[in-house]
Amino acid sequence: MSSANLTASDLAVPAAPPTPNAESGRPGVALRLERVSKHYHSTVAVRDVTLHVARGEFLTLLGPSGSGKTTTLMMIAGFVIPTAGRIYLGERDITLLPPHKRGFGMVFQSYALFPHMTVFDNIAYPLRMRGVGASEIASRVCRALAMVQLEGYEQRRPRQLSGGQQQRVALARALVFNPPVLLMDEPLGALDRKLRERMQLEIKHLQRELGITMVYVTHDQEEALVMSDRVVVMSQGRIEQVGSPDDLYEQPANRFVADFLGESNFLEGRVEQVDDRAATLVTDDGLRVRLALRPGLAAGSAASLALRPERVRIGASDGLANRYEGVVREVIYVGENTRYRVQIGAVTVLTAKRPNLADGPRPSIGEHLTIGWQPEDMVVV
């Protein structure tokens, strides 16, 4: 049976001990964190996090090391008890409930497979712990193997599998008992880039097919953008911004989000004037920049602007509101595109990104050229 033919009901386990049910509770909400914090003596790992996860949503916690994303996931899983706040599955308070009574699926970066067990026994383990009968176990393990495209691997041991295959076994084990929520902590971190990119799409496709609620932790910005319905950007234990991947990328709420999620140029300066159509900012080294009107912009106020490198046009036409002469200081070839570091002022150096197309000359270091962008290409952060 192919994964396309499986549904969440195919993996349902009858006669299992009762577990918290995401279907009970307010419509559309599977999981809620209300003002959750975690302190370790004088260290605050998570600060006042409030978050609602929709039923069937793929939500990613994204941030650098020490941002609090894994601690937040461990509190959802029950391995860490919050210092303050409450956690709900539907309307049921599970803040103090031990992990094995929450009924969540969990996949770790290390996969945590039992080395002495076969693939079949690893996947069957949570079903046996729930008292499911042998014939039902065989049926559900077979379906789970088909779901992750590992038919015929039942009798292999983890050491006989590649990293990607071990990851699939861990995923099958987490899904086989139909958990209300699946938690994943950096599950692809040990894989090489090409395999990681393939597994990103496979996990996302599987999550959509089954309609399962998923909370995923990663520090990889591209991974978060590719896989998620919504992304929670965290820093120093706080939520910086929550939104869809395109909202976060196109409209970052602050400089941290603009800098962490993707790549940005930053221009600092003071607003010189505001008219009916746009504002003019003068940078610290005297560049005059036109930007689209934003709430809070006023003449005389300081402002920080973010500009994505792909929005910077090289060889810009006269139709651009912001157009400057510059000198190429650095050329970085990265396969599908080339990044150019271009100095346009006394100290201002911007990165421009251009696809590597077959036609057209490529600027070289020391070359003089024109770059530019439109006012709406900039975001005030």
What pLDDT shows up at residue 70? 96
Could you tell me if 232 and 59 are in contact, meaning their C-beta atoms sit under 8 angstroms apart? Answer: yes
Q: Report the CATH number at residue 297.
A: 2.40.50.140
Same domain, 80 and 193: yes
Which tens digits make up the pLDDT trace of 342-365?
999 888 999 999 988 867 778 999
Same domain, 61 and 181: yes
89: pLDDT confidence band, cut at 50, 70 and 90?
very high
Same domain, 188 and 234: yes
Residue 274 has pLDDT above 80, yes or no: yes
Same domain, 70 and 151: yes
Last residue of a domain, one of 202, 237, 256: 256
Same domain, 233 and 296: no
Same domain, 28 and 174: yes
Which tens digits make up the pLDDT trace of 147-202?
998 999 999 999 999 988 998 999 999 999 999 999 999 988 878 888 889 889 99
**The 368-373 sheet, strands edge to edge:** 313-314, 368-373, 322-333, 337-343, 349-355
Last residue of a domain, one of 235, 256, 277: 256
What pLDDT shows up at residue 22? 34
Residue 23 has pLDDT above 50, yes or no: no
Same domain, 287 and 240: no
Residues of the chain with pLDDT > 70, as a percent, come to 92
Mean pLDDT over the full length of the chain: 89
Last residue of a domain, one of 256, 281, 297: 256
Which tens digits make up the pLDDT trace of 279-298?
999 998 899 999 998 877 88
Same domain, 117 and 208: yes
Q: If we measure between CA atoms, which residue out of 378, 163, 168 comes closest to residue 280? A: 378
Same domain, 176 and 310: no
Q: What is the mean pLDDT of residues 99-106?
A: 94
Residue 20 has pLDDT above 60, yes or no: no
How many domains does the chain fold into?
2
Q: What is the mean pLDDT of residues 216-226?
A: 95
What pLDDT shows up at residue 163? 87
Rounded Cα–Cα distance for residues 124 and 144 (Å): 10
Residue 6 has pLDDT above 50, yes or no: no
Same domain, 39 and 117: yes
What pLDDT shows up at residue 25? 40
What pLDDT shows up at residue 16? 36
Which tens digits make up the pLDDT trace of 298-344?
899 999 999 999 999 998 677 899 999 999 999 999 888 999 999 99
Residue 3 has pLDDT above 50, yes or no: no
Same domain, 102 and 134: yes
Could you tell me if 254 and 264 are in contact, meaning their C-beta atoms sit under 8 angstroms apart? Answer: no
Same domain, 214 and 310: no
Domain containing 348: what range? 263-380
Q: Report the CATH number at residue 179.
A: 3.40.50.300
